[in-house]
Structure 1
Amino acid sequence: MMTEELKPLKKLNIFSTKGIQMKTFHITWITFFFCFFGWFGVAPLMPLIREQLHLSKDQIGNIIIASVSATIIARLIIGKLCDTLGPRLSYTILLALGSIPVMCIGLSNSYESFLLFRFVIGIIGASFVITQFHTSMMFAPNVIGTANAVTGGWGNLGGGVTNLIMPLVAAGFAGMGFVSHANSWRVAMIIPGVILLIMAFVYYRYTKDTPAGNFKDLQVIKVKKAQKGSFITALKDYRTWVLALAYAACFGIEITVDNVAATFFTDQFGASIIMAGAMASIFGGMNIFARALGGFVSDKVGKSYGLRGKGILLGMLLVLEGIGISLFAQSQTLGLAIAAMLLFALFLKMANGGTYGIVPFINKDAIGSVSGIVGAGGNIGAMLVGFLFKSEHLTYADAFHYIGIGVAIIGLLVFITRFQLKRSENTETVNQFQQA
């Protein structure tokens, strides 16, 4: 029998670094945080890049779509790799490979080359799947939603901080005379690339796949690795697809806002690049608590009302998110826009946490595959709404209004979906839900 030190934790103490579970917890969210710097580091610098490369609205729309497109395939692949290689090796490989296009995007000298680099950088977005998978391995079902939400939320916080920090980094290089103001974005992107390489070493050196050890050292995991068809089983479960749709309506919108918020505030309200980045960072800053709150509430609801209750909660959050986005789109002043953004950001990020409070219970033998498919759904959503922002016939405000309507409709669909455990899973999982 395994000792408590070798089992998933039943309590989450965010101030602890004791044990492999909590050490992995902190390394995981910090790594994911820096992945956002690599993934969206150029987003707040787009006003500079747009001017230097003479990009049209249509071309910027294509760049937005490209930034999330590669992530779709990468998340599906990474989800399966987590089930086989384990999260430790999967993350190390992804970080090392992803750092290359991040450091090299500054070499772009045309729309086509920038588009290509932006597309390849998108593979870093698969880091989310590993983050959620690894956290699921370290914590027991009664706190798994909270733990997943905290690592995901604090990691997503990087999407907001990068909007604030990257314009300052670029301005710093220009101010020190290393490069001109127009070329400062090129040098600035080297910083997140180097950080990703450092985190690859940290992840490989200081984490383990499970509390009991790495996949390659555990016979029980070797048996699990030999199982076939886990990915297909996940694909056949309608609950997987409903969650993928839900994640498209929350996280898919989140990374879209990360991509366009700075440009929106610049064009709509005449904000400077640094001020626009600061205002956009407020949206990402909500991840400090909002996603964790969603996971925490999901766990509490699950303890009392089971998986069905978690599903109803998620549907309600998505409907409220959709209403908030529509209000944001119709804001006529900067103050109202920021207030509406804070409103829909709260429900959006809580919905993120609520979604991955359900994911680990869909198929306990294919958590990586389910997580990968649902995660890919988020990026499919971002890719599809990206077409709204490239349209010459729609303003960014129009695009947000249509997005709000779509999100609310998806929320209603999730609300009426019956999220139920399979009979063979029910007794064991309900007992775990109720453990204090």
Structure 2
Amino acid sequence: MKPNMISNEKATSINLFDFSSIQMRTFHLSWIAFFLCFFGWFSHAPLIKSTIGPDLNLTKEQATIAFIASVGVTIFARLGIGNLCDKIGPRKSYVYLLIFGAFAVAGSSFANTWETYLLSRLAIGVIGASFVITQYHTSVMFAPNVIGIANATTAGWGNLGGGVTNATMPLIASGVAAFGLAEAAESWRIAMWVPAAIMLFVAYLYWKYTTDCPKGNYDDLPEERPQVKKGEKSLFLAAASDKRVWILFLMYAGCFGMELFVTGKASTYYQEKFALSQKAAGFVVLFFGAMNLFARSCGGWIADKFAKGSGLNGRVKILVYVVIAEGVALLVFSRMNALGPAITSMVFFSLFVQMAEGATYSVVPFINRKALGAVSGIVGAGGNVGAVLYAQYLLRTGASLQDAFFTFGFVVSAVGFLGLLIKFSAEDEAAAVEEQKKLEAFNASLENQAAVPAV
């Protein structure tokens, strides 16, 4: 698709500087919305040890439980939001979620006991479902030849919010105290209103500048909405009865689940093991999140390229390779006892974990096209299940974070081999090729029309 050429079909290319087509407007707004949701979701993580914890007299165990609650509730939110996308469309789903998230993040500033703080973290955890909407929306906007990199880039740039929040929330809180808006111990309360306000603004932009699909909104085009024929399983049951969905669920627990766990615990890890300050630890963790700028996109891009010669099963092979590499990189990171090597190995681990996420969602859109929302929701929930299990292991065994990372390295590597059980039929392969040919022919006709001089 050429720059500024508007089509009501899926885009067969990505032009980052095209803001006129609905496909690229959706591309940019979906990653920005996810970035802000991820930022708000993990806004407490870099402040929990040195600011929020002391202010509310939280114990180490309570801090871990709050993390589990915030990540765990997202499991159910992701399952629900996938079905919501199928029913009311991704546009309304995202706007409603952004508004809810804004109130949840801002509302957490009123917590003054352990119980109210736990409730606020549960509410904030719901916005982690934003990932499913992002992947759903880009999946309906882009063609098979670029769907991997489209999904991976929007998700990766959105995930960057987790790294940015670790670096910037301590600065925002410090700024609040420096300007005398609150005492240092309570500066986090006002700081929470910053991401909340921005989320409301993006909710307005999402409502105004996106549509449910390239042709328009589901309310105006009911035929574009996923339909279930009489006698067929519901969309959710159709997705849940496919074993490939649950294998991807486990593999996503191994990659995104691990990223969630590390994002929530890395600042504490560097503060405890290497005696870094809250600000310094947050800056180091920014390197982990910053890999989202390109690493997840790289995983999707490689999967798209590999699929040209090896088809859908080629996408699966790439996924297997990078998940195993992620596990090995985590093992190496867990053995580093000096700051420099620890940061270096963390960056390599981040590279593979995010490539694995990109490769996962290059496969997801082809599992069940009609039940895309349900499949995306179930697989996405797997990431949160993984994060909860990792945190539960830490809480119940009393292991150090370093020893936990070592154990998880073996777990992730083993999970990677499960991908070998994912298979696509010849009919699936043919359907993907046929869809791509039709879209390429459609966009070629648009280019030919544009090339004809006006009379």
TM over 0.5: yes
2:163 is aligned to 160
- CA drift at 1:291: 0.3
User: In terms of mean alpha carbon deviation, does 214-223 or 324-333 score higher?
Assistant: 214-223
1:342 is aligned to 347
- Please tell me whether residue 55 in structure 1 is matched to residue 55 in structure 2: no
Amino acid at match of 2:10: P
1:246-297 per-residue CA deviation (whole Å, 9 max, x = no partner) reads 1111111111111111111111111011101000111000000000000000
Amino acid at match of 1:153: G
1:37 is aligned to 39
- CA drift at 1:81: 0.8
Amino acid at match of 1:420: F
SS of the residue aligned with 1:216? coil
2:114 is aligned to 111
Q: Distance in 1 between matches of 2:205 and 2:6?
A: 25
- Please tell me whether residue 13 in structure 1 is matched to residue 15 in structure 2: yes
The within-5 A match list for 1:120-131 is: 120-131=123-134
1:19-51 per-residue CA deviation (whole Å, 9 max, x = no partner) reads 111111111111111111110111111121122
**Could you say if the C-alpha distance between residues 61 and 412 of structure 1 is closer, same or farther in structure 2, counting changes exceeding 3 Å?**
same
SS of the residue aligned with 1:79? helix
User: In terms of mean alpha carbon deviation, does 189-198 or 170-179 score higher?
Assistant: 189-198
Q: Which residue, out of 413, 421, 424, partners 1:420?
A: 424
Q: Distance in 1 between matches of 2:407 and 2:333?
A: 11
Structure 2, gaps ≥5 residues long: 441-455
- Preserved CA contact (<8 Å) 2:152 2:358: yes
Q: Distance in 2 between matches of 1:46 and 1:313?
A: 37
User: In terms of mean alpha carbon deviation, does 47-56 or 114-123 score higher?
Assistant: 47-56
1:55-92 per-residue CA deviation (whole Å, 9 max, x = no partner) reads 22221221111111111111111100111100000111
Amino acid at match of 1:36: F
2:325 is aligned to 320
SS of the residue aligned with 1:6? coil
Q: Which residue, out of 30, 45, 50, partners 1:28?
A: 30
- Please tell me whether residue 376 in structure 1 is matched to residue 390 in structure 2: no
Q: Distance in 2 between matches of 1:28 and 1:426?
A: 28
- CA drift at 1:429: 0.9
Query: Percent same amino acid among aligned pairs?
Result: 46
Structure 1, gaps ≥5 residues long: none
Q: Distance in 1 between matches of 2:428 and 2:271?
A: 51
- Please tell me whether residue 398 in structure 1 is matched to residue 403 in structure 2: yes
User: In terms of mean alpha carbon deviation, does 298-307 or 215-224 score higher?
Assistant: 215-224
**Could you say if the C-alpha distance between residues 391 and 268 of structure 1 is closer, same or farther in structure 2, counting changes exceeding 3 Å?**
farther
- CA drift at 1:393: 2.6
- CA drift at 1:193: 1.2
Amino acid at match of 2:87: T
- CA drift at 1:4: 6.3
Q: Distance in 1 between matches of 2:9 and 2:417?
A: 38
Q: Aligned pairs, how many?
A: 432
- Please tell me whether residue 245 in structure 1 is matched to residue 250 in structure 2: yes
The within-5 A match list for 1:12-411 is: 12-47=14-49, 48-222=51-225, 224=227, 229-391=234-396, 393-411=398-416
Amino acid at match of 1:231: F
- Preserved CA contact (<8 Å) 2:249 2:380: yes
Amino acid at match of 1:239: R
Amino acid at match of 1:85: I
- CA drift at 1:433: 5.5
- CA drift at 1:360: 0.2
Report which of the two structures shows the higher radius of gyration computed on alpha carbons: 2
SS of the residue aligned with 1:356? helix
2:452 is aligned to none
**TM-score normalised according to structure 1 size:** 0.96
- CA drift at 1:223: 6.7
**Could you say if the C-alpha distance between residues 269 and 222 of structure 1 is closer, same or farther in structure 2, counting changes exceeding 3 Å?**
closer
Amino acid at match of 2:311: G
SS of the residue aligned with 1:5? coil
| Cα RMSD, aligned residues only | 1.6
**Could you say if the C-alpha distance between residues 175 and 385 of structure 1 is closer, same or farther in structure 2, counting changes exceeding 3 Å?**
same
- CA drift at 1:215: 0.5
- Preserved CA contact (<8 Å) 1:324 1:344: yes
**Could you say if the C-alpha distance between residues 269 and 148 of structure 1 is closer, same or farther in structure 2, counting changes exceeding 3 Å?**
same
